[in-house]
Amino acid sequence: MKVKILIISALTLCTNLTFAQGPKIGIKGGASVNKITGKSFNNQFSFGYHIGGFATIKISEKIGIQPEVLINQTNVDTSSEFSDIYAFNKVNGVKLNQLSIPLLLNYSPNKFVSFQAGPQYSILINKDKTFIANGKDAFKTGDFSMLGGIQLNITKIRVYARYAVGLSNLNDIDDKEKWKSQSVQLGVGFTL
């Protein structure tokens, strides 16, 4: 229910801003390189993807807001210590699919470059059912992150690179350790 309300709110906000300010809307996608920190996981980044839509709303000549709605896939490998910490056997990797809603502030010193920063809230769409302890799911359903990056604006094409660091503890099993997300996104967008 929360997911539906959040999606409807985000789409309503984008639609209202579209008609009020005349922003540019578009689609985007690309590669994500992710990891989850903690002794239970390998300290290496692994590949995933992201795809979604965005709107760019100008506030002034150099300042704008860019709300987005993205589907992110995160793939991470567990470490050899995972079975020692938790009583799970044969869990080699985890795949998480999330609905992410970043709200970025764009600073554009010129029309070709935009520096971006802002918060992102991600909602876990699927829960990996191999991770169950006492009827509890392993990952919390929400993740709050901060993003920073750069975007190149070449006519209708947007090429971007950004880094996201999770501020929330994703571990929903116990308090033995904190799991936090990190992600690097590289992608291309197209303004419609």
Query: What is the pLDDT, as a whole number, of residue 17?
Result: 47
The more confident residue out of 19 and 89 is 89
Number of domains in the chain: 1
pLDDT given at position 41: 72
- For 42-81, how does the pLDDT look when each residue is reduced to its tens digit (9 = 90+)? 677 889 999 999 999 999 999 999 999 999 988 776 655 5
Higher pLDDT pick, 25 / 15: 25
Q: What span, in angstroms and rounded, lies between the C-alpha atoms of 32 and 75?
A: 9
Whether residue 129 is predicted with pLDDT greater than 80 in this model: the reply is no
Measured distance CA(142)–CA(125) in Å, rounded: 10
**What confidence score (pLDDT) does residue 83 get?**
53
CA 185 to mean position of chain CA atoms: 9
What is the DSSP code (8-state) at residue 2? H
CATH number at 73 reads 2.40.160.20
Q: What does the radius of gyration of the chain's CA atoms come to, in whole angstroms? A: 18
Averaged confidence pLDDT in the chain: 80
Between 38 and 166, the more confident residue is: 166
Q: Is the pTM value of this prediction over 0.85? A: no
**Residue-by-residue DSSP string for 145-183:** EEEEEEEEEETTEEEEEEEEEE-S--B-S-SS---EEEE
State the pLDDT confidence band at 19, using cuts at 50, 70 and 90: very low
* Structural domain for 62, as ranges: 2-191
Look up residue 119 and give its two tokens: 């918060």
